[in-house]
Amino acid sequence: MFNSVALDVVISLVFIYLLYSLLATTVLELIASGFRFRAKILERAIFRMLEDDCKFHSRAMSFFYLFKKCGNGGGPGSVSGDFYKHPLIKFLGNNKPNSKPAYINNQTFSKVLTDLLRGDQVKPGDDVRSMIQDALDQKKINWGFARISDETLSLLKSYWADAQGDIEQFKKNLEGWFDETMERATGWYKKNTQFLLLLVGLIIAIAFNVDTITLIHKLKKDPKLREQIVQQATAFANANPDLDKKLILQKKENEKFLAHYTREELKSGDSLYNQFLVDSMELVTYNEIRARRDTLLKRADLVMKNDISNVNYSLAIGWDIPVCKSGKPGCYILLFAGWIITALAISLGASFWFDLLNKFMKLRASLASSSVDDKQK
How large a percentage of the chain has pLDDT more than 70? 74
**Digit-coded pLDDT (tens) for 315-357:** 777 776 667 766 788 888 999 999 999 999 999 998 899 999 9
Closest CA to 19 of 309, 308, 213, 345: 308
Q: Is the pLDDT of residue 98 over 70?
A: no
Q: Is the pLDDT of residue 295 over 50?
A: yes
Distance CA 48, CA 156 (A): 14
Whether pTM exceeds 0.85: no
Q: Is the pLDDT of residue 37 over 80?
A: yes
Angle in degrees, CA 6, 7, 12, rounded to 5: 100
Q: Are 28 and 347 in contact (CB under 8 A)?
A: no
Q: What is the predicted pLDDT for the residue at 17? A: 93
Q: What is the predicted pLDDT for the residue at 291? A: 58
At 67, the pLDDT band (50, 70, 90 cuts) reads confident
- Cβ-proximal residues to 126 (8 Å cutoff; 6+ apart), any chain: none
For residue 23, CA distances in Å to 18, 105, 250 come to 9, 32, 14
Q: Is the pLDDT of residue 276 over 70?
A: no
Q: Is the pLDDT of residue 83 over 70?
A: yes
Mean pLDDT over 27-56 rounds to: 83
Q: What is the predicted pLDDT for the residue at 281? A: 35
How is residue 147 annotated by DSSP? B
1: amino acid identity, one letter: M
At 199, the pLDDT band (50, 70, 90 cuts) reads very high
Average pLDDT, the chain: 80
